[in-house]
Structure 1
């Protein structure tokens, strides 16, 4: 596939034939975000509601066969997400210190993520939501932010357990490798160049994003780093997949900015968040560009909940997203060209 074919609209409109998400999964995803936002609207504490919704969004995982397996997996993610909320909000608004903390934490997380699939998923969520939490600026009480993240995460865990308990596949729990075998496999991977490819790529791209953000003094510069974390993936070395993430994220910023500038009434915010949250699992399985297009407006609405951003804010956020995409795509393009030349 050539670069021209990769960027063609036809490539972005591919619709996977994978089995769609079940109805219970869609309902669970919708409720996970609807309840915290509804609380924020009713109580008047929109910021608290947005923190809880972010925690729920970060924690929600697909229902697993077996309640015990689902409990362990989702509870572990909840702890990771809460830690991200605390560390990100504690480090936010501190210039170069923020940049160093984000890059350092993401680098360690990227290495740890090679242990197994659960660690890969959990550490990616950690890096993403650590960056998001730095966007809150200098926070007086990071513990309070972590508490609301934890409440939202706990709500997502409860929903996941209910969905898993209602699953028809209770007896199809797959055998898992032992921790000893995983440890040996991880050590072998770290002895190879490929084992360090993702950590090095993420660290270099994220460091570049943080330097640009620190030198470019505007409030939404953390979106450069956020875009890098979204686009650079452990198994996402293919150019088409990266382009899908970039296109979807940019489109999502425009949609989210339009929704926020419209200043919708409270009931409309709840309705939009519920619908977008509910369709996420379906789109994730069918078309990643569409999934990114939905995920980004959700983030935009939750991060700006209770605030009325200006048109310039939306413009900066879009520009930051484009810059982040270019930083993330450059190593993939260079590697692809090197392979073609070789």
Structure 2
């Protein structure tokens, strides 16, 4: 963390960091093209087969794999994408298995999130994989409220289909744009650290409370998220947990910035999404818009997370309401649950810790 957390709490800092724009990361065109072709194709196939569940799940597969880190060679990137697909598939199955059991489901989500936060401290790769696992587990647990147990393999197959499509398009585009990948290889030439060394470092950090701090922050936020959902009987309360999983980072200052970026971006995104109430889009117009939003996601994710969150809101609304109009209630749930998740992440995951010494495992993950 480059600046003290104590100095990064003013309104000026929040506005500056929320609206910041970064050109440090170049546009990854394979991700952009894979996002458009993959997501538009999956939704189109769902419409064609009259299987909207397939369209939704396969689109999630494209989204997850297209978000995979693109540094290194095409081979390295492809391996990372297949690893992401495997993690996502397992997480989705576990989420479906634990769904529909009331308080037990909530407790298992908290347990999964806490263990993932702990294991994510092993390395940056583990940290990224742990967040992906939590996100897909929550999504899986929200599907059908336990009524899709018998279809878990069909659901997994749909997710894998979308993932494979995204990987194939990304690899083909990467080969056609080989120079973009070659330019990145030299950046990644760093000394390798053995798993034994990583394990020793990770174990030593766990001998101090600093090494457990992120895990405790995640556990507090997830417990609160589940309690609020149950006590107030919120219809789509899983969005609260999803928001926490997305915005709560190991680095406190980075976590604070992400919380406000997500909150402001979602609020603006809901305003954009409200435009969908004005008219009912034909199916194939929805395909084009979802494809375009899928292409824009990787461009803005590393340049302006606030704009990324703004685009993700109408995208998710269109995906979850595929085949039916976007309603005012859906917009309200999205905004309310996201804001609750951001408040929980800020209070329990940042504010009460900002005066404590910062201890990071793997940086901004």
Q: TM-score, normalised by structure 2?
A: 0.85
Q: Secondary structure at the match of 1:113?
A: helix
Number of the residue aligned with 2:50 = 44
**Cα distance, 1:74 vs. partner?**
1.1
Number of the residue aligned with 2:80 = 73
Find the partner of 1:16 among 15, 22, 29: 22
8 Å contact 2:277–2:328 — kept in the other structure?
no
**What do the CA deviations read for 1:97-125 (whole angstroms, capped 9, x no partner)?**
21011111111111111121121111111
**What do the CA deviations read for 1:179-224 (whole angstroms, capped 9, x no partner)?**
2222222222322323212111111101110111112223211111
Q: Which consecutive unaligned segments of at least 5 residues does structure 2 have? A: 1-7, 358-365
8 Å contact 2:40–2:291 — kept in the other structure?
yes
Q: Secondary structure at the match of 1:153?
A: helix
CA 1:326/1:54 → structure 2, altered by over 3 Å: closer, same or farther? same
**Cα distance, 1:280 vs. partner?**
1.3
8 Å contact 1:224–1:320 — kept in the other structure?
yes
- Correspondence 1:334 to 2:340: no
Number of the residue aligned with 1:263 = 280
Q: What is the RMSD computed on CA atoms of the aligned residues?
A: 2.3
**Cα distance, 1:57 vs. partner?**
0.8
**What do the CA deviations read for 1:278-302 (whole angstroms, capped 9, x no partner)?**
1111211211111111223322222
**What do the CA deviations read for 1:273-327 (whole angstroms, capped 9, x no partner)?**
1111111112112111111112233222222222345322321332122111111
How many equivalent pairs are there?
338
Q: Which consecutive unaligned segments of at least 5 residues does structure 1 have? A: none
- In structure 1, what is the Cα distance between the partners aligned to 2:47 and 2:287? 8
CA 1:305/1:93 → structure 2, altered by over 3 Å: closer, same or farther? farther
- Correspondence 1:127 to 2:134: yes
Number of the residue aligned with 1:113 = 120
8 Å contact 2:33–2:173 — kept in the other structure?
no
- Correspondence 1:294 to 2:294: no
Number of the residue aligned with 1:139 = 147
CA 1:219/1:67 → structure 2, altered by over 3 Å: closer, same or farther? same
- In structure 2, what is the Cα distance between the partners aligned to 1:286 and 1:157? 23
More divergent stretch after superposition (119-128 vs 18-27): 18-27
Written as runs of structure 1 = structure 2, the 5 A alignment for 1:302-317 is: 302-317=319-334
Number of the residue aligned with 2:64 = 58
